[in-house]
A = this chain, B = another copy of it.
């Protein structure tokens, strides 16, 4: 049996919040340290590195209240194989099937972070790309599903004329018969480009390229060729690993907006899953999103202001050499809330208003201009 595995001795840490009394949590922590690594009866583990280094180390147990504790477990960086998929597997693969355990945050040493190139653009790169130095970026979505490619392109034209920076597909636009992917992307990219020639601004179109397996990659290549300026990707549907591959592909080379579809199930119960901070912040950024879209507090969804601020924090705080990214709060936002959102998120934010841009007044073009005026105001 192996004993000298040539391990670096470097470890990354996962901080779990675990329900239970101190005794219960001690046991659960021990089980996690085995489950997430060797998944083997401890008594039969060979002496040496497997037993001493590969099994997770419980670094600390801190009571939060009588029934919940924060537990830090460290893992040898080699267990994660320096790839995103296996990193996620070590963090929470099998333990996702246990009740009352939540990943609060991940602490990664430089040697592990170096395996990930992260966002290609990040905040600064996306600002340079759009030529917007300081103010929040304006974003909206093409909808409703059911419009034809021509109708969506007309809509995109108006939105671009109105001064929106980023026009994304609604995440429900895929390759449906009413607006097939290629036709939609070609028409919308052309419409935005036509509007840019009139305004002199740089608005970009971000089609949704989420598809099955390699189809995501093919759509990303097509989008680039058809004149898209960015991509919308839902890693909950296509995997974080696929988003990472697209982010690091030179032949695509477009900014990525990470969409939260299906990822809600990880974060929405406070004692289960993976925290907002980690899934919409740390993991989105590590896998190469240049912006992370999430439902803002006080909209159609239930995220708290605290959770939203945690996402924004993970998007911008130091993380090795990985670029900071834009938080993009959305989900029932309105023009009226722009001043408040600027106060809460500051200037490094993408303000994403979808349906609310249509309800502000019957004049969509005027609504866009009002949105832009509010964002430029006071800078």
Contacts and interface: CB of A to CB of B under 8 A. Distances in A.
Nearest to A295: B97
Interface residues of A, number: 93
Interface in A141-182: 141, 143-148, 151, 170-172, 174-178
Contacts of A177: 5-6, 78, 81
A95 interface: yes
10 contacts: A2-B146, A5-B177, A6-B177, A38-B144, A86-B175, A97-B260, A97-B301, A212-B239, A212-B241, A214-B245
Interface of A: 1-2, 5-6, 31, 35-41, 43-45, 49-50, 54, 78-79, 81, 83-86, 88-90, 92-99, 141, 143-148, 151, 170-172, 174-178, 210-217, 234, 236-239, 241-242, 244-246, 260-269, 272-274, 295, 300-303, 331, 354-355, 358-359
A273 B266 CA distance: 9
A259 B54 CA distance: 22
A43 to B, nearest CB: 8
Nearest to A180: B81
Q: How many copies does the complex hold?
A: 2
A236 B240 CA distance: 10
Nearest to A356: B41
Contacts of A273: 265
B213 A242 contact: yes
Nearest to A279: B265
Contacts of A141: 39
Contacts of A301: 97-98
A328 to B, nearest CB: 14
